[in-house]
Amino acid sequence: MGEQQTVRAKSSEIRDVFGRWLSAEWAVGARIVVLEGLMGSGKSMLTKQSFALGTQQSMSVEVDHFLRKPVDPNTAYMDAIDVEAASASILTALRQSPLVIIEGPMAWPVAQRALQEVGECDVRRVYLKRMSSTRPDAWDDFEFLQEYERPTAYGRSVDQYHATEQPWVRADLILERIGKGDE
């Protein structure tokens, strides 16, 4: 991993910032980008549409699409995910696209099998933080994580992953999103 970058941008600009970073990383060989962040940080909105990479397009695999429905609130997040189906989708996307974005609150553990298909130098990690609108230096989600325990095992398992694994520490890029998602 190279030197970690942190970029702060308004919600209305975050997709463009992420797209420019993706293009630059793809140009130097990135094939997989693992995008994590706490629930509600804006990951799905960020990857709703593909990104242009020269004449090709990125593909996104949203880990939450592989939740076994209905999700029992007493089930931990990773136990609720069909990891085999998610891995198969990631591998298919790798064959169809020059760059695959795997996004979810716990995307890294799900991506492990697919990461064996590309070299370590072809993988990037990104962490999306939702910062406070009124106090731009405050990471509201992290403060919430420290002060509140979610009522379900599902939510607690996601929070525990972020609190113990601290995926932002290993990220190549930390995106700090300021403002509401519709700004």
Domain 5-178 in this protein, CATH class: alpha beta
Edge to edge, the sheet with strand 59-62 lists: 5-10, 173-178, 123-131, 32-36, 100-103, 59-62
Tens-place pLDDT, residues 89-125:
999 999 999 999 999 999 999 998 788 888 888 999 9
Q: What percent of the chain has pLDDT over 70?
A: 91
- Taking residues 9-37, what's their average pLDDT? 96
How far is 105 from 37, CA to CA, in rounded Å?
A: 5
Backbone φ and ψ for 117, nearest 5 degrees, come out as -80, -15
pLDDT score, position 140: 64
Chain-wide mean pLDDT for the chain? 89
pLDDT at 174 over 50: yes
Output 135 or 159, whichever has higher pLDDT: 159
Tens-place pLDDT, residues 68-91:
989 898 999 999 999 999 999 999
pLDDT score, position 151: 79
How far is 11 from 156, CA to CA, in rounded Å?
A: 26
- Taking residues 29-58, what's their average pLDDT? 94
Output 143 or 11, whichever has higher pLDDT: 11
- Taking residues 133-161, what's their average pLDDT? 76
Cβ–Cβ under 8 Å, residues 99 and 53: yes
Backbone φ and ψ for 102, nearest 5 degrees, come out as -105, 115
pLDDT score, position 133: 74
pLDDT score, position 142: 64
Cis ω on the peptide bond leading into residue 109 (within 30° of 0)?
no
Q: Where are the alpha helices (DSSP H) in the chain?
A: 11-27, 43-46, 77-80, 83-96, 107-115, 140-147, 153-165
Backbone φ and ψ for 116, nearest 5 degrees, come out as -70, -15
